[in-house]
Amino acid sequence: MAVMQRATDLRAGRPDLTHLYDLVRRRDAQYPAAVALGSEQGLTWRTVDSRQLRDLTDRLAAELAAEGVREGDRAVLWVPNTWRTAAYLFALWKLGAIAVPFDREMNPEAAGRIIQAVEPRLVLVGYGERPGWAQDGVTEWWEPGSHVDRAPDAAWMRPAEELAAIFFTSGTTGNPKGCMITQANLCSQVDAIADLLPLDPTCRLASILPLSHLFELVCGLLYPLSQGAAIHYIPSRRAPDILRVLNEQRITHMNVVPQLLTLMGDGLDAQLRAKLPSPAYRVLHQLAPRLPLRWRRLLFLPVHRKLGGHLHLMAAGGAALPSDTQLLWERLGVRVVQGYGASECSPVIACGNADGSTPVGSVGRPIRGVQVRLTAEGELLAKGPNVMRGYWKDPQRTAEVLQDGWYSTGDLAAIDEAGNIRLSGRAKELIVLPSGLNVWPQDIEDVFRSHPAVQDACVIPVPSSAGGVVLHVYLVPSPQSSGRSHRSPAPGTQDSGLGTPDVSAIVAECNGRLAQHQRIATASWWGEPDFPRTSTLKVRRHLLPVPQAEAAVAVDAVLASDDPVAQAIAGAARMRAVLDQQTLGELGLDSLALVDLALTLEEKTGKTVGDDDLSLEMTVAQVRDRLAGQAGRQADGDVLRESSTSAERPLWPYTWGRSLRLLSWPVEVLYSLSVTRTIVLGGDHLDGLPPRVILAGTHHGFPDLLLVRHGLARTPARRLAGRLVVAAGAWGMGAAGLWARYAIPAFGLYPLRQYSDRDVSLRGLARLAAAGNPVLIFPQGTHATLEEERLDAPRARFKPGVGHLARALDATVVPFGLAGTEKLMPPRKEGFTGRVIAGEIPVSIRRGPLAIAFGAPVNLEESESIPAFAQRLQEVCYALTRQAEAAVGSLTTDH
Residue 596, SS3 per DSSP: helix
> Rounded CA gap, 216 and 687, in Å?
46
What beta strand segments (E) does 226-378 contain? Answer: 230-233, 253-256, 313-316, 335-341, 348-351, 365-366, 371-374
Beta bridge partners of 851: 679, 819
pLDDT at 353 (0 to 100): 92
Residue 809, SS3 per DSSP: helix
**Residue 425: partners with Cβ closer than 8 Å, 6 or more residues away:** 411, 412
> CB of 349 within 8 A of CB of 342?
yes
Terminal Cα distance for the chain, rounded? 85
Residue 858, SS3 per DSSP: strand
Closest CA to 219 of 211, 88, 342, 182: 211
pLDDT at 835 (0 to 100): 67
pLDDT at 470 (0 to 100): 86
- Write out 519-562 in H/E/C secondary structure: CCCEEEECCCCCCCECCCCCECHHHCCCCCCCCCEECCHHHCCC
Closest CA to 189 of 229, 233, 230, 225: 225
- Segments of the chain with pLDDT less than 50: 1-13, 171-173, 483-499, 634-639, 642-647, 730-736, 754-756
pLDDT at 814 (0 to 100): 97
pLDDT at 696 (0 to 100): 96
Beta bridge partners of 142: none
Task: Kindly list the distances between the CA atom of residue 78 and the CA atoms of 49, 121, 142, 489, in Å, as whole numbers in the listed order.
Answer: 24, 14, 13, 45
pLDDT at 643 (0 to 100): 44
Q: How does pLDDT run across 537-558, given as a tens digit for each residue? A: 778 887 888 888 767 888 888 8
∠ at Cα 750 (745, 751), nearest 5°? 115
Task: Kindly list the distances between the CA atom of residue 847 and the CA atoms of 671, 676, 831, 893, in Å, as whole numbers in the listed order.
Answer: 9, 7, 21, 15
> Rounded CA gap, 825 and 674, in Å?
10
Q: What is the DSSP string of 107-150?
A: -HHHHHHHHHHH--SEEEE-SSS--TT--TTEEE---TTSSSSS
Indicate if the alpha-carbon torsion angle 825, 827, 833, 836 is positive or negative: positive
**Burial class of residue 5 (count of CB atoms within 10 Å of its CB; 0-12, 13-18, 19+):** exposed
Q: How does pLDDT run across 371-392, given as a tens digit for each residue? A: 999 999 899 999 999 999 999 9
CA atoms within 13 A on the CB side of 257: 21
Closest CA to 183 of 153, 218, 154: 218
> Rounded CA gap, 405 and 650, in Å?
60
Closest CA to 341 of 189, 221, 187: 189
> Rounded CA gap, 47 and 56, in Å?
13
> CB of 6 within 8 A of CB of 194?
no
> CB of 573 within 8 A of CB of 590?
no
Give the DSSP H or E segment for 74: strand 74-78
Neighbours of 74 (CB within 10 A): 24
Phi-psi region of 582 (alpha: psi -120 to 50; beta: other; left: phi over 0): beta
pLDDT above 70 covers a percentage of the chain that reads: 87
Q: How does pLDDT run across 19-39, given as a tens digit for each residue? A: 999 999 999 999 999 999 999
Radius of gyration of the chain (CA): 30
- Write out 737-801 in H/E/C secondary structure: HHHHHHHHHHHCEEEHHHCCCHHHHHHHHHHHHHCCCCEEECCCCCCCCHHHHHCCCHHHCCCCH
- In the chain, what are the domains? 2-408 (3.40.50.12780), 440-556 (3.30.300.30), 564-628 (1.10.1200.10), 648-865 (3.40.1130.10)
Residue 687, SS3 per DSSP: coil
**Residue 67: partners with Cβ closer than 8 Å, 6 or more residues away:** 121, 122, 139
Give the DSSP H or E segment for 178: strand 177-182
**Measured over all CA atoms, what is the biggest interatomic distance in the chain, rounded to whole angstroms?**
105
pLDDT at 730 (0 to 100): 41
What beta strand segments (E) does 387-433 contain? Answer: 390-391, 402-403, 406-415, 421-426, 431-432
What beta strand segments (E) does 798-844 contain? Answer: 812-819, 836-837, 841-842
Please write down the long-range contacts of 328-332, taking CB distance under 8 Å and 24 or more positions apart: 328/265, 328/268, 328/269, 329/261, 329/265, 330/289, 330/293, 330/296, 330/356, 331/285, 331/288, 331/289, 331/296, 332/265, 332/268, 332/288, 332/296, 332/297, 332/300, 332/303, 332/304
Provide φ and ψ at 796, rounded to 5°. Answer: -90, -10
Find how far residue 748's CA is from the centre of its chain. 31
Closest CA to 706 of 750, 752, 768, 664: 664
